[in-house]
Amino acid sequence: MTELLWGPQHRSRGPKPAITLAEIAAAGIRIADTEGLDAVSMQRVADDLPVTKMALYRHVPGKTELVAVMSDLAIGPPPAHSKQPWRQALKTWALELYAVFAEHPWLLQAMIGRRLLGPNELAWMDRGIQALTDSGLDGGEQFDAILVLSSHVRNIAQQTISTGLTEEHLNQALAEILATEAARFPSLAAAMRTAGGNQNQGLEFGLERILDGLELLISGRKG
Amino acid sequence: MTELLWGPQHRSRGPKPAITLAEIAAAGIRIADTEGLDAVSMQRVADDLPVTKMALYRHVPGKTELVAVMSDLAIGPPPAHSKQPWRQALKTWALELYAVFAEHPWLLQAMIGRRLLGPNELAWMDRGIQALTDSGLDGGEQFDAILVLSSHVRNIAQQTISTGLTEEHLNQALAEILATEAARFPSLAAAMRTAGGNQNQGLEFGLERILDGLELLISGRKG
DNA sequence: ATTAATTGTGTCCGATGGACACAGTAATGC
DNA sequence: GCATTACTGTGTCCATCGGACACAATTAAT
């Protein structure tokens, strides 16, 4: 299971493979980027190579693993930076993660629940935690911290990107319902009224709030 | 689309319906609770009533809408509380939301991406925002605040509950990989070493961090 | 009693992920 | 040089999925 993500392939006898795992994953990514993850089927990937559907199963055990390989390849390694204060480092880390999701919206769909961990995903985690090594937080807290950040990035990405502008959709659907049912949700209606034009601020807002909270904890831990 | 979630059904001529939308949704929830959302197929739901698969389409347009009805019914209305300070109110709100996900893990899978909004889900949003009406934040900020909280709850729920103990799975998979690849992820390995026994603290940790950040903003806004 | 609307049933379809047997290919041992 | 053996891609087959559509039965309105 982890071999195809971590271990190198060794070759011996037999016909030369017409396709490689990397080519399969690349084709899958290409399809997912342009037509969404739902369009990625074994048949569709095979047609793009082109090869028979069952030929794919010689290189990848099943679709689950294919998506895992696709995901780790699409995430890519985290950008390298010179040493920064933890807060700035974490913020750019979060924004870069957001950029990845913006580039491959289907990752939001692919990276949910229990999944296989790839080297690139681990590298991202490593870089996130790296920013907190001198913070005075213990390992568990460091994990939790980057988990809160990444989950926020993920959720904001899901509402701004995803398939079509979901934020528009949500706002419109909400306004549509509140037009007739405002009385049942008074606080919600009131908030909608004073919301104004500050849209797409969700990422920045949550990021600053979380970082503020972390800063409070860290400074209290150090002093 | 929204009629089946909001509007009441009116009857006229024709045979008396053998099943109702509520019964269909209840059957779906029963299946999802015990066997997971993936086990919920039209055929499976129909068999449990028992009725033919195509009979369901007389009451619900498609599976998407069925899942939407199931979701809103499973969420249920938010618990009522007497007036509390905003921080305490938001914290209990988040914990109650977590409890809902713990009771119906498949909701995590069902409530992602663009979906139909049901009255119960809106009621939850309303209660969350209600806690912030006197906070001095404008509507947009109130939205963003409960969005950060709910996304954190959701993500923690996804890693602690979901299908099987994912936290165990993640920790084990992580330890397994780090056993051989620790050199590639030094910060990660170091954090794992000092993590110790403080597991399942992710929900509390993130919650306090976010609330701290909100408190900082609110007190700054008021003073 | 006739009409018309609405119900559940049965049949059919394309697409999905995957099992399995088979024939061809290339490196190894003799 | 030749047979062996491991490996590759192909073709066929299957259960299951969501859904379209025609049809017969039922019940309220006329």
- To probe the interface with B, which of A142, A205, A218 has the most B CB atoms within 10 Å? A205
A210 close to A160: Cβ distance less than 8 angstroms: no
A71 close to A110: Cβ distance less than 8 angstroms: yes
Which residue's structure tokens are 């700054």? B220
B10 touches strand D (CB under 7 A): no
Locate the chain B residue with the closest alpha carbon to A130: B187
Same fold, A2-75 and A86-222: no
A179 touches strand D (CB under 7 A): no
pLDDT for res B223: 64
Residues 162-181 of chain A with CB under 8 A from chain B are 162-164, 166, 169-170, 173-174, 176-177, 181
Provide, as residue numbers in chain B, all residues whose Cβ is less than 8 Å from the Cβ of A114. Answer: 162-164, 166, 169-170
**Region for A7 from its dihedrals, namely left if φ exceeds 0, alpha if ψ lies in -120 to 50, beta otherwise:** beta
B19 touches strand C (CB under 7 A): yes
Tell me, what DSSP letter sits at residue A79? P
The whole-number Å distance from A20's CA to D9's C1' is 13
What distances in angstroms separate CA B173 from CA A9, A120, A122, B9, B61, one per listed residue? 21, 15, 11, 50, 41
Rg (CA), chain A: 22
Q: Which of A216, A220, A222 is nearest to A87 (CA)?
A: A216
CA angle B185, B187, B189 (to 5 degrees): 65
pLDDT for res B78: 98
pLDDT for res A223: 64
Beta strands in A14-158 (DSSP E): none
What distances in angstroms separate CA B199 from CA A32, A193, B38, one per listed residue? 36, 42, 29
Q: Which of 1.10.357.10, 2.60.320.10, 1.20.140.10, 1.10.1040.10 would CATH assign to domain A86-222?
A: 1.10.357.10
Q: What does the pLDDT look like over A57-91, one tens digit per residue?
A: 999 999 999 999 999 999 999 999 999 999 999 99
Domain boundaries, chain B: 2-75, 86-222
Mean pLDDT of B50-78: 97
Peptide bond into A50 cis (omega under 30): yes
Residue B17 dihedral angles phi and psi, to the nearest 5°: -60, 135
* Contact check, Cβ <8 Å, B184/A144: no
Residues 136-155 of chain A with CB under 8 A from chain B are 138-145, 147-148, 151-152, 154-155
CATH 1.10.10.60 fits B2-75, yes or no: yes
How much of chain B, in percent, has pLDDT values that exceed 90?
77
Mean pLDDT of B130-142: 96
pLDDT for res B73: 97
Q: Which of B213, B214, B195 is nearest to A217 (CA)?
A: B213
Residue B115 dihedral angles phi and psi, to the nearest 5°: -145, 170
Mean pLDDT of B39-47: 98
**Region for B112 from its dihedrals, namely left if φ exceeds 0, alpha if ψ lies in -120 to 50, beta otherwise:** beta
Residue B91 dihedral angles phi and psi, to the nearest 5°: -70, -45
* Contact check, Cβ <8 Å, A117/B187: no
Question: Residue B195 — pLDDT band, cuts 50, 70, 90?
Answer: confident
Provide, as residue numbers in chain A, all residues whose Cβ is less than 8 Å from the Cβ of B169. Answer: 114
Q: Which value, to the nearest 10 degrees, does the dihedral of the CA atoms of residues A201, A205, A207, A213 take?
A: 180
Query: Half-sphere exposure (CA, 13 Å, Cβ side) for A61?
Result: 10
B161 close to B102: Cβ distance less than 8 angstroms: yes
> Is B105 a residue whose pLDDT tops 70?
yes
Between CA A203 and CA B82 the distance in angstroms is 32
The whole-number Å distance from A61's CA to D12's C1' is 20
| Nearest by CB: A158 against B113, B139, B212 | B113
Q: What does the pLDDT look like over B3-41, one tens digit per residue?
A: 667 777 777 788 999 999 999 999 999 999 999 999 999
| Nearest by CB: B148 against A152, A192, A217 | A152
Between CA B145 and CA B210 the distance in angstroms is 9
The pTM for the full model equals: 0.94
pLDDT for res B116: 86
> Is B162 a residue whose pLDDT tops 80?
no
Q: Does A111 touch chain B (CB under 8 A)?
A: no
Provide, as residue numbers in chain B, all residues whose Cβ is less than 8 Å from the Cβ of A126. Answer: 184-188
Q: Which of B41, B130, B111 is nearest to B72 (CA)?
A: B111
Between CA B35 and CA B26 the distance in angstroms is 14
Between CA A187 and CA A223 the distance in angstroms is 40
Sequence-separated (6 or more) residues with CB below 8 Å from residue B164? A114
Mean pLDDT of B118-139: 96
Between CA B191 and CA A142 the distance in angstroms is 7
Question: Residue A195 — pLDDT band, cuts 50, 70, 90?
Answer: confident
What distances in angstroms separate CA A36 from CA B57, B87, B101, one per listed residue? 27, 40, 27
